[in-house]
Amino acid sequence: MRDVVILGSTGSIGTQALQIIADNPTSFRVIALTCAGNNPALIIEQAKKFNVTYVGVINNGEIIREALPGVIVIDGPQASTQIAAMECDTVLNAITGSIGLGPTLAALDAGNILALANKESLVAGGDLVMSKAQVHQIIPVDSEHSAIWQCAQAGSRSEIRKLVLTASGGPFRDRVDLQGISIEDALAHPTWSMGAVVTINSATLVNKGLEIIEAHHLFSMPYENIEAVIHPQSVVHSLVEFIDGSTIAQASPPNMKGAISYALNWPERLANSTLPIDWTRSHTWSFSPIDADRFPAVDLARHCGQGGGVLPTIFNAANEVAVDAFLTNSLEFSSIVSVVAAVVNAYDNGVAATIRDLADVSAIEEDARMKTREHLIRLAP
């Protein structure tokens, strides 16, 4: 039986992971859960159901503590970082945003296996994270990177020529005019059910840009050998092209349970994690290149990744502020990526600086967020 810690247990990835664990009670034991605490009723319910020892929250610590006598409640901004360092078999980091970097580093330093769904850890601090990771200590949870991880086993690292990430294209893949888009429209993803920030990132394709940077670090692949294509059906989660011209794809229904279970139970597969593809029905899968004019986020992310240093950190921090501005009706959807590009372009000196530790990441993020807010003020009517 594996002892599991779940960071971000009330989000989409966290709740699906708990469903998998509930279906496999002899394989996993949940010892700790964390979340922001904005939904205290849900984490209280989860903690009781799985009889956890620890709960970590940023907000509503007293409410949760009163509701869970006998459970050790750790509250405050460092709660997830403290819990990630606890002795266990696997830490699932399902936190959204660069706030997940601290727990990622803590889990690695403690020697825990890290099932990583927090892509911002590798975007904001990729070199730092990978310098701490031992071989096979990070198991990707993003469906695209899980697919690449699985496909790559068909050959040696030297035989891989290209990684191909698939993108659903979001709700506006077929829309030519991206002006006047409402929050409701942007949150209406045609395939996936995700949190608000991730859904908006999918709509702008920023998410795919982040995943390209993530893939670069996870698989030590040059940026020029990483591509992304639109695949509306979201059944082929990604592909790996080999030097002999063969391309291996990983396909499964468009949900996260397969990738989550693979990471939690790695290196063995967990039976019946998700329903297989129904081959008694006809299927049509399509692939098309990304329109860089309508969706410039992918090229911008690639530029930041190739520039290295703190540029990916700036890209991610600026996007977080811009997305929040859109979700609070302070910015047009069509301006999100242009705001991020303006902030990235403002950093014309020192972008190759080395990120030495979490404090360096925090400092450059705060500076980028400040510059983004200043830019938004200048844009305001």
Give phi and psi for 113, each to the nearest 5.
-70, 135
Tokens of 217: 């670090």
Examine domains 2-140 and 308-381 and report if their fold is the same. Answer: no
Q: What's the Rg (C-alpha) of the chain?
A: 20
Tokens of 201: 């990132």
Amino acid 95 reads: I
Taking a C-beta distance cutoff of 8 angstroms, is the pair 156, 247 a contact?
no
| Per-residue pLDDT, 349 | 56
Quick one: which H or E segment has residue 329? none
- Tens place of pLDDT per residue across the chain (381 aa): 999 999 999 999 999 999 999 999 999 999 999 999 999 999 999 999 999 999 999 999 999 999 999 999 999 999 999 999 999 999 999 998 889 999 999 999 999 999 999 998 999 999 999 999 999 999 999 999 999 999 999 999 999 999 999 999 989 998 888 899 999 999 988 877 778 888 999 999 999 999 999 999 999 999 999 999 999 999 999 999 999 999 999 999 999 999 999 999 999 999 989 889 999 999 999 999 999 999 999 999 999 999 988 999 999 999 999 999 999 999 999 999 999 999 999 986 545 567 888 999 999 999 999 999 999 999 876
In three-state form (DSSP H/G/I as H, E/B as E, the rest C), the secondary structure along 356-370 is: CCHHHHHHHHHHHHH
| Per-residue pLDDT, 351 | 54
Q: 344: burial class by Cβ within 10 Å (0-12, 13-18, 19+)?
A: buried
The pTM score is: 0.93
| Per-residue pLDDT, 333 | 96
Ranges of each domain in the chain:
2-140, 141-306, 308-381
| Per-residue pLDDT, 381 | 67
Taking a C-beta distance cutoff of 8 angstroms, is the pair 12, 195 a contact?
yes
Homologous superfamily assigned to 2-140: NAD(P)-binding Rossmann-like Domain (3.40.50.720)
CATH 1.10.1740.10 holds for 308-381: yes
| Cβ-Cβ contacts under 8 Å for 123 (sequence gap 6 or more) | 98, 210, 213, 214, 312, 313, 315, 316
Amino acid 313 reads: T
Q: How many CB atoms lie within 10 A of CB 294?
A: 14
By three-state DSSP, how is residue 309 classified?
coil
| Nearest to 326, CA basis, from 209, 204, 183, 213 | 183
Tokens of 196: 């608000």
Please count the CA atoms within 13 angstroms of the CA of 191 that sit on its side-chain side: 22
Write down the H helix ranges in the chain.
Answer: 12-23, 40-50, 61-67, 79-84, 101-109, 119-132, 143-151, 183-187, 196-204, 206-219, 257-265, 297-307, 311-327, 336-346, 358-379
Q: 13: burial class by Cβ within 10 Å (0-12, 13-18, 19+)?
A: buried
